[in-house]
Structure 1
Amino acid sequence: MGQPPRRARQLGIIVGGLPTGPLNAITDVADVLVGQCTIDDGADLHTGVTAVVPRLAAGALPAAVSVGNGYGKLVGSTQVDELGVLESPIVLTATLSVFRAADALLGYLMERDPAGVSFNPLVGETNDGYLCDIRRRPVTERHVRDAVASASAGLPAEGCVGAGTGTTALGFKAGIGTSSRRVDVDGAARTVGALVQSNFGGTLTVLGTPMPAAELVAGGAGEEPPGNSCMIIVAIDAPLDARQLGRLARRAVFAMSRVGAAYQHGSGDYAIAFSTGPRPRPVPDALLDPLFAAVGDSVEEALLNSLFMAVTTTGLRGRVRHAVPHQQVLRRLAAAGRLHPA
């Protein structure tokens, strides 16, 4: 029987010294919900939809996009860049399903605002074609609407679920991961939350300790899947403007290096950051350092959760991607003196 999925902290792997929110998830940020829909036939289809659904009380929220490498299809990103606002839920899915997902999200937005004449659905993707028959484009309007409709403030499922059902990263099975941090900024307690869809190459690194898949997996890691990418979503309840959120988003992409990302040619690495906070005045730039630290730590832990919560998966043409072997990771961390005491 395979190992049970466990979050990094359940294994004693503690990233940084900042406290987490109650759920250690992006949903610790007030007014941020997450919903998911999974497509898994146990054979050739391993994919789905993950939706981050902020409550858009005023119709839009300050937002920014950072492009680490633009080898991807992030629908709606240029308008977010131009206007600095988010006007829709953020949907994540598979590369060749992103256009159907965008159309489905457009239909949802039009129903919500019958008088509107222009809408900007924001839909990102990674390529899960190593384990899934991506050309079948199995994601439908119903899957997108189910993900959005099911969004809740609870702890999002992680690993092989939603848009992470068929993804791989750093030589292992990966998926969806999330984490959060609490910090004091300008005299107020603030929460930063991150959610990731991991699907990128490199050598897994945990707390600075390399964990090569070729050494941890019996028979080696196998071939490197094409189309490696990563989508990162950062939510914050501090009053930041779009320019400041762009600074946070860039640091979210930087955080991929902490877990061993190779930032390869074919890796479409994007971060989307948005604020749900009140906007009487932005936080002064000189006080952003705690938020930068919170973004780095929450994204790093979300990436680790996306791997540690995934399970070994057999997919298209019998291809296999193994879960990260927890006990081997813990032995290496203990030998390196990096394991947090139980």
Structure 2
Amino acid sequence: MKPRARELGLRPGQFAPGKLNAITDVAGVLVGQVTKLEGEGIRSGVTAILPHGGNLYAERVPAGLAVINGYGKLAGATQLQELGELETPIVLTNTLAVGRAVEALVDWTLERNPQALSVNAVVGETNDGRLNDIRARGIVDEDVLAALNSARDGAVEEGSVGAGTGTVAFGWKGGIGTSSRKLPAALGGFTVGALVQSNYGGALVMDGVPMGRALGKFYLKEHADKGDADGSVMVVIATDAPLSDRNLGRLALRSMAGLARTGAAFSDGSGDYAIAFSTHPQVRRPAPEGMVADWPNEKMSPLFVAVAEAVEEAVLNSLLRATTVESRDPATGKKRKVEAIDIEAVRAVLSAHRPE
């Protein structure tokens, strides 16, 4: 098993992680994944995040959205922004599978809600066409349904799995990563968890160490290499803090600070999206006894710090846990390969920058 960031001594920020250091440290959150490896070309998958295990259409959760660069196909985004709530799980997949994922998510929701006449299916994506034969449309309804139906709590598989199977980040193999932060009781005692689908570029920084420059792979190297900049990233944030959709939007926006700390280029061809939701039972819609007061604005700052830290570490975990992936280009017949980051090289750089 490849190491996570903390096993290499990387500990971004100041707050401690939850027990699992995963989005599932937020009680009730479930994650399901399907990894699709078929023939020499299909290298893709699906990751589903459920805010709770009940009927989400009947017990909706408040949510907020932040977009830095909108080069993406986030289905359901406008209604999410308008109403500030989720009525379906969040599904992540590849760019050309969004339509099929929406259909499957609608079917899954309608089956559980015979009275429903409208469903706002939320499906995010990144483009894994560098490794995946994306035009073959290898993701089908059954894959999405399998991810939804297999969702569970506990540890979350990371790296080249689920919606991260074919992704590339900073020129190395990207993937799914997760992390969490637990605030001390004096600051509310809440948990913030993040899950990322990393597929973006820039100059990789690991907990302040300029790893990309040290290993010779970064955006604008010699003012010519543009290949490691474009891409996209989906960030999903869960918290048990009783936040309104307004403050969840603020929380989602601050998650981008975590991406910035990893060296993100936020380039023209990158889609940078974050969705944040609250699982607190008193802010569900409809709430058992009506809506509770929003967590005060003046007490939001610790949550802002926590989300940036969790997102930063989730990205590092996505890279460190990823494995090398190979495929064949259907157009040219040539083999394609994206290497996982060299763990021993990372150790050496960290040792040089942080001598004992």
Range of TM-score over shorter length: over 0.9
Distance 1:44 1:116, change over 3 A: same
Match of 2:142 in 1: 142
For residue 331 of structure 1, report the CA deviation from its aligned partner: 1.6
Residue identity opposite 1:271 in structure 2: A
Query: Are 1:184 and 1:290, in contact at CA under 8 Å, matched by a contact in 2?
Result: no
Q: Please state if 1:322 is matched with 2:355.
A: no
Match of 2:121 in 1: 121
For residue 226 of structure 1, report the CA deviation from its aligned partner: 8.4
For residue 211 of structure 1, report the CA deviation from its aligned partner: 1.9
Match of 2:72 in 1: 72
Matches within 5 A, 1:38-187: 38-41=35-38, 43-55=40-52, 56=54, 59-184=59-184
From 279, 294, 307, give the equivalent of 1:276.
279
Distance in structure 2 (CA, Å) of the matches to 1:331 and 1:184: 34
Match of 1:17 in 2: 14
Match of 1:242 in 2: 245
Query: Are 2:214 and 2:349, in contact at CA under 8 Å, matched by a contact in 1?
Result: no
Query: Are 1:126 and 1:227, in contact at CA under 8 Å, matched by a contact in 2?
Result: no
From 26, 29, 53, give the equivalent of 2:23.
26
Match of 1:288 in 2: 300
Query: Are 1:127 and 1:227, in contact at CA under 8 Å, matched by a contact in 2?
Result: no
Of the structure 1 ranges 324-333 and 261-270, higher mean CA displacement relative to structure 2 is found in 324-333
Of the structure 1 ranges 7-16 and 193-202, higher mean CA displacement relative to structure 2 is found in 7-16
Match of 2:254 in 1: 251
For residue 112 of structure 1, report the CA deviation from its aligned partner: 0.9
Match of 1:265 in 2: 268
Q: Secondary structure at the match of 1:79?
A: helix
For residue 282 of structure 1, report the CA deviation from its aligned partner: 1.5
Q: Secondary structure at the match of 1:36?
A: strand
Distance in structure 1 (CA, Å) of the matches to 2:230 and 2:347: 30
Q: Secondary structure at the match of 1:315?
A: strand
For residue 103 of structure 1, report the CA deviation from its aligned partner: 0.7
From 296, 304, 323, give the equivalent of 2:316.
304
Query: Are 2:202 and 2:229, in contact at CA under 8 Å, matched by a contact in 1?
Result: no
Distance in structure 1 (CA, Å) of the matches to 2:301 and 2:344: 35
Q: Secondary structure at the match of 1:329?
A: helix
Query: Are 2:170 and 2:229, in contact at CA under 8 Å, matched by a contact in 1?
Result: no
Query: Are 1:170 and 1:213, in contact at CA under 8 Å, matched by a contact in 2?
Result: no
For residue 254 of structure 1, report the CA deviation from its aligned partner: 2.6
Query: Are 2:230 and 2:268, in contact at CA under 8 Å, matched by a contact in 1?
Result: no
For residue 5 of structure 1, report the CA deviation from its aligned partner: 1.8
Q: Secondary structure at the match of 1:100?
A: helix
Query: Are 2:326 and 2:336, in contact at CA under 8 Å, matched by a contact in 1?
Result: yes
For residue 138 of structure 1, report the CA deviation from its aligned partner: 0.8
For residue 253 of structure 1, report the CA deviation from its aligned partner: 1.9
Query: Are 2:187 and 2:302, in contact at CA under 8 Å, matched by a contact in 1?
Result: no
Residue identity opposite 1:8 in structure 2: A
Residue identity opposite 2:26 in structure 1: V
Matches within 5 A, 1:175-254: 175-184=175-184, 188-212=188-212, 215=215, 224=227, 228-254=231-257
For residue 14 of structure 1, report the CA deviation from its aligned partner: 1.1
Which ranges in structure 2 are unaligned for 5 or more consecutive residues? 284-291, 330-334
Which ranges in structure 1 are unaligned for 5 or more consecutive residues? none
Give the TM-score, by structure 1 length: 0.93
Distance in structure 2 (CA, Å) of the matches to 1:273 and 1:26: 11
Residue identity opposite 1:233 in structure 2: V
Q: Secondary structure at the match of 1:319?
A: strand
For residue 126 of structure 1, report the CA deviation from its aligned partner: 0.1
Q: Secondary structure at the match of 2:257?
A: helix
Residue identity opposite 2:321 in structure 1: M
Distance in structure 2 (CA, Å) of the matches to 1:106 and 1:205: 39
Distance 1:227 1:135, change over 3 A: farther
Of the structure 1 ranges 232-241 and 38-47, higher mean CA displacement relative to structure 2 is found in 38-47
Distance in structure 2 (CA, Å) of the matches to 1:299 and 1:203: 17
Match of 1:335 in 2: 352
For residue 286 of structure 1, report the CA deviation from its aligned partner: 0.4
For residue 223 of structure 1, report the CA deviation from its aligned partner: 7.8
Query: Are 2:170 and 2:228, in contact at CA under 8 Å, matched by a contact in 1?
Result: no
Distance in structure 2 (CA, Å) of the matches to 1:320 and 1:186: 49
Query: Are 1:255 and 1:299, in contact at CA under 8 Å, matched by a contact in 2?
Result: yes
Residue identity opposite 1:150 in structure 2: S
Distance in structure 2 (CA, Å) of the matches to 1:332 and 1:252: 26
